Structures are given as C-alpha cells and as structure tokens.
Structure 1
C-alpha cells in the first residue's frame, strides 16, 4: 500500500470510526485511531439490526463474508398482537440491492470484533485507553494533545466518538441529544425455534415488544416503554423487571422471558434524537456517526447511517479535491439530506405512540423513508 503524505486522526473505534479507518487506509492515507475504552468496546451490547444499506458498506469494507457467517439473515418483518397472533408479514425493502439480504441480525460484540480485526489488518496505528485532551488548529493542520501526554499534528481529525461526543463540545458545537420520551429494555437470549425474523407487537404493557434473531442460536429481545426515572431501580433487579414486562406477551415471549435471568445482560437506555443542521465540522475537525446525528431505533438505521457517513467521507478524502471548507461543507449537506428524513420519521413513529394516535400511517411513513435508502449514499 502506498502511503499518502496526508495524516488523519480518527477519534473513536466504534462502527463509524472503524469503518472510516479501514477505508482511509485502503486509500493509502496515514491513519491513527484512538479509542477511550481500553477494551475497545469488544463485549458491549446485546444485538444489532443491520439493514441492506449497512450491509452494502460492510461489503465495501471487505467484511461481508464474516458478517454473513456470524449473523442471521432474513427478508421480512412480522406484526403481531400482544398475545402473539400474526397480523401481517411485510417483505423488507432491500436497501442494499437485490444481491444482499433485507436484514441481518447480529450479536453486537461479534460485529465489533469483526471491525476490530479489519482495523488491525489495515495497518492503522491504534491506541486504546487514550483520549484527545486539546485540539489546536491553524489553516493547515490540527495539533492534538492526548491524555497520555503525547502530541501529534494531523491534516484532518475525524470525530466518531459517539452520542455524547467530547470532541463536539471541544470544537464549540453545543448541540446535544434530547430525550424523545421513550426508553428501551434490551437483552440477549437463546433463539426459540419459531423465531426466524423480527416480530413486533404494538400495545400491551409496553409500546413495542420485539426481537431479532442474531445467529442460529441467539436473539436479542427488547421492550419499549415511556421514559421514566429508573435511578432508584436496583440494577440487580433488571432481569426480574424485564421478565415482568415480558409476561404481558404471548407467542415466543414466554420462552424468551424464561431465559432472562442475568441482570448484567439487561440494558436500559432512553431514546434520543439529534441532528446537526449546520456544518459538521469546525476547521479541520469533522464529526461523523452518532457524534453528528442520532435517532430512536424504530427504523433500525443508526448503524447504517454511521457506516454511510464513513463511506462518503472516505470517498471524498480519497479524491482529488482539496481538503477545504468546500469539501467538508459539501459532505455535511450531502449527508443531512439523507439523514434528516430518517431521524424525523424515527421520532415521529414513537411520537404517534406516545400521543395515542391510532390512525397514523406508520407503514406508509416507513416505506417512504426506507425506499430512498436503496440509492447509493
């Protein structure tokens, strides 16, 4: 690989940061990646739903074969009553094209490990347990001081440090995620033989009860409820509490609920929304992924949009255009046009439930939002 003289720092080794690192190294750029967590988030999370437009980028990264081998592919989603009766089965929109599945469910740690291995194989310099403490810019470079006392200069810094991005604040962008009024309980679980796709039940004790197969032997299950103060709920009771909520559902849920016994496996988080309307950069520091936008998982597009950010930015940086204001402003404008409808629709789907709207055209909104994602980002 011929190394480009330009040097890039990627802050954050999650989905967006890892993808950007691999793609920029493939283009011959000199890339450093820092990740705050010493374990590189290798074991965090229960499951993830990857729609076709996410799979398209993962194929571009060269990891599709591993994803396909570790995950569970399916092409439809079921809508059920709380007692488990199937009301409707809808074919997934193949947003990645006809040669990729509509959806692949995966254990999130499996995806992270695949991306870690791809980053390591790319030849990027990796430093774990390290953060950026200061960013000092001039017209041509960014001087970065790190938490371990080291410093270096870069032609560009890509901040992929997540929803609560420290970099976003460091460069003077005060936009922050806002709660939507919903929260979600998640847990991994063994896969009942009857579970071969995502099924969603609306109503019952929660707004949504759903699950997604993540391998031949596993699923992740989730229950969406109104956001409330859970600070007084002992984490040791999380499994018991999720079982109590799951008891209101039939179909595969009794078998799933019986397996929810480890409170350490149960995660409770709120739904947030955020979209940077203006430029996603200041000088030579640019935000991507959850640092620039986030939405509730009602359309399962969070990881896909982050992967697309990495792909589009890497393509722009690998071209002949100067790394200037025009390039970075154009990147954000291009991405906002694609991201905004997803963020707004994801929030609207939840708001209809919060407001008790019973005649909302949810299927129509979902189709209108997801169908355009089949086009290249």
Structure 2
C-alpha cells in the first residue's frame, strides 16, 4: 500500500479550511496549522456570500448547514440617504439557478461550520502554531514550527491571509496596498422589514449598507475615506460609526441604536493585491488572500478564496505530477478571473473617490457577475 502524499496547510481561514476538506476527501494526509489559538471562531460581524461561494460550500458538503444558518435573498436595493428606495435590482445567480443569488450570515457561524468540516475530515490540526522555516529540496519541504516540532511534506499551501508571512518567506514581494477607503462594520438585530441588502450612496459616507445574516440578525457597514488608524482610539469605535450612520434614514435609526459597544465595531481599510506571474515557489503554493485581495464592493473576497481551494484541490487530486507545470496551470486558470474581480472592485471604489457621477457601476457589476456564473 502506497503512502499518501502529505500536505501542510498554513492558515485556517476560508481557503485553508476548504482545501483541507477537499484534499482529505481524496485521501491525502493533511496537517493544518493556524496561528490563532481560537481559530478565528469569534472574529468578525457578518459576511455576504454570492452564489459562486455557495457553489463551493455545497461541494464541501456544508451547504445545508450554511443555508440553515444564513439568510438567502435575490435582490439589492439602492436608496437615497433618507431611506427612500430608488431602485431594486435582481441579483445574478452566480452559483447557478438552484442556489440563492446571495446569502448573508454571521461570519463566526461560517467559520464554525468550516471548522467542524475540517475536524470531521480527519485532518491533523494544531492551533497557536506558526511555520518558523520552510526548507525545500527536489522532493519536498521540511517545515519547522514555533512549538519546536518539524514535519516533512510533499507540498505546502500558504493560506495565511493578507499579511501572509509565508508569501514573504518564499521571496514573493507583493504586498497589499490601500485603495483610499475604509469600512466600519457591526452586527446588530435585524429589523423585520430588512429582507435584502440595501445600499445608500451619498451622505457623510460613500456607502451605507446592511445585509441580513439570519432571521434575527444583520450586519451593517459604512464606507468612508480611510483615516490614520492611530488617530481613532478603539474605545471610540462605536461613537464614530454611530456618528456616520445617524445621518441615514429608512431602517438605519433602528440599526443605529444598537451601535453602542466599541468592542463589537470593526474598522478596516480597503486593500488591493494580486500576485502576478505565479502563485508558487517550488513546492509552496499560495491560496486565498495570501495571493490576492480586493475591496468588498462586489462581495467576492471569500468567494475567490473558496474557488482557489476548489481549483487547487482538483488539480492536486487529478493524477498529474506535482510539478511547476501543475502549479503554473493553477495560476493561469485562476489569475484572469481573479484579476477581473480585483480590478472591478477597485474601479467601483475609485469612481466614488473621484466623484464620477456618470460611472456605469451597474454595467460593470453585471458584466463581472455574469462572468462569475461560469465554473472557476
């Protein structure tokens, strides 16, 4: 009986968890390490998942739990700052007609579902652990860990996020760059009338929006020009977000009254990055935010990460040699699709920063989403 190939997955976010489940299903031996001891199980407010993300979650075997935990819908409303609904557009079903166009859910709930899937897969998981060094040769990678242990692997998948230390360690110099915008996010009770995402453009922020995340919850956000984070004390986060949100009407007054705990408000800059040329060096391959990131203007960050995991696992388990040609094929299959989303997401934000009033935002969104209906 042959020894199964061994893979180290660095990072237990969407991409790392998903690729672990898929590789374990194919019989590969997988070790997953995650730097945070809590496995990010409580981090974040909410997440908007488009159909192409749901398509991958179904492939992972967790769609039923996601569906039960989240709130699916099929349209987006555009409102004036006072809450007047100006237009309602049907969302494109990027995951196919048998899945919702969009589903919102609490981010910690999604992470818990993926954690459970990793645990059930039989993968070895070590939390609070980092890769201290990766030494490659022609046959594999020797990894030494911060807990003093080491392991030998046929492949390392770096899914350790936006600030990936693995990316830098293998000599890839790309880094996230701020786009000029920032977002305030908070989880809150869902007013009964909120059954879709509504976006208000204008007012004191560039965008004020919310997304239902369950029968009883939503997450709300306001987007402004980025500010020096050091100038905003964390204890003032609720006050800052409430100040911006209080200028909006419709359901916003009911939402705003729950923005009281600064520990529950998240402030993040928008960044962009796309590693060009290849996403690997030898037998270390990037996936998810370690390879690319974009502003959430198209709500595609998690979807792109999940798609990376799906495509990479498909190639690794397809019977081909694990060599430069295979890893380059992964990049060449993913890069055009990811580039289109990154560029469109950045362009939508730049139009707002530049005050372009005749920008074809609906057209750009429609073209991008139509492209995403195709399998990754």
TM-score by length of 1: 0.99
- Counterpart of 1:332 in structure 2 is 331
Deviation at 1:7, TM superposition (A): 0.3
Other-structure match for 2:49: 50
- Indicate the residue corresponding to 1:181 in structure 2: 180
Distance (whole Å) between structure 1 residues aligned to residue 3 and residue 101 of structure 2: 37
Cα distance between partner residues in 2 of 1:63 and 1:336: 26
Q: Name the SS for the 2:209 alignment partner.
A: strand
Match of residue 197 from structure 1: 196
RMSD over equivalenced CA pairs, Å: 0.9
Name the residue aligned to 1:84. 83
Contact 1:158 1:285 in 2 (8 A): yes
Task: Please state how far the C-alpha of 1:219 moved relative to its aligned partner.
Answer: 0.3
CA deviations over 1:15-46 (Å, ceiling 9, x no partner): 00000000000011000000000000000000
Q: Does 1:40 align with 2:39?
A: yes
Residue 281 of structure 2 aligns with which residue? 282
Q: How does 1:128-143 map to 2 (within 5 A)?
A: 128-143=127-142
* Inter-partner Cα distance in structure 2 for 1:318 and 1:3: 15
Matched, 1:169 2:171: no
SS of residue in 1 equivalent to 2:278: coil
> 1:194: how far off?
1.3
Q: Given that residues 3 and 30 in structure 1 are in contact (C-alpha distance below 8 angstroms), is that contact kept between their aligned partners in structure 2?
A: no
Q: CA deviation at 1:3?
A: 8.4
Work out whether residues 4 and 30 of structure 1, in 8 Å CA contact, stay in contact via their aligned partners in 2.
no
Deviation at 1:140, TM superposition (A): 1.2
SS at 2:203's partner residue?
coil
Whole-Å separation in 2 of the counterparts to 1:210 and 1:72: 16
Distance 2:232 2:122 in 1: 45
Q: Could you tell me how far 1:233 is from its partner in structure 2?
A: 2.0
Per-residue CA distance 1:330-372 (angstroms, 9 max, x = gap)? 1001100110000000000000000000001010000111111
Match of 1:125 in 2: 124
1:1-377 correspondence to structure 2 within 5 Å: 5-377=4-376
Question: 1:3 & 1:72 partners in 2: Cα distance?
Answer: 45
Contact kept in structure 2, 1:349 and 1:362, CA below 8 Å: yes
TM-score (norm 2): 0.99
- Aligned residue for 2:231, secondary structure, equals coil
CA shift, 1:232, in A, is: 2.3
1:67, distance to aligned residue in structure 2 (A) = 0.1
Aligned to 1:189, what secondary structure does the other structure show?
strand
Kept after mapping to 2: 8 A contact 1:8/1:157: yes
Secondary structure of 2:350's match?
helix
Q: Aligned partners of 1:174 and 1:208: how far apart in 2?
A: 32
Q: Which runs of 4+ in 1 moved over 2 A?
A: none
Note if contact 1:3-1:28 (Cα within 8 Å) is conserved in structure 2.
no
Distance 2:304 2:168 in 1: 22
CA contact (8 A) 1:3 1:29 kept: no
CA shift digits 1:35-82 (9 cap, x unpaired) = 000000000000000000000000000000000000000000000000
- Alpha-carbon distance between aligned partners in 1 of 2:182 and 2:260, rounded to the nearest angstrom: 21
Partner deviation per Cα, 1:94-123 (whole Å, 9 max, x = no partner):
000000000000000000000000000000
Shift of 1:85: 0.4
Matches of 1:16 and 1:321, distance apart in 2: 22
Structure 2 Cα separation of the partners of residues 372 and 98 of structure 1 = 15
SS in structure 1 at match of 2:364:
helix
TM-aligned CA deviation for residue 278 of structure 1: 1.0
Deviation of the 1:4 alpha carbon: 5.7
Instruction: Give unmatched runs, 5+ long, in structure 2.
Output: none
What secondary structure, in the 3-state scheme, does the structure 1 residue paired with 2:194 have? coil
SS at structure 1 position matched to 2:312: helix
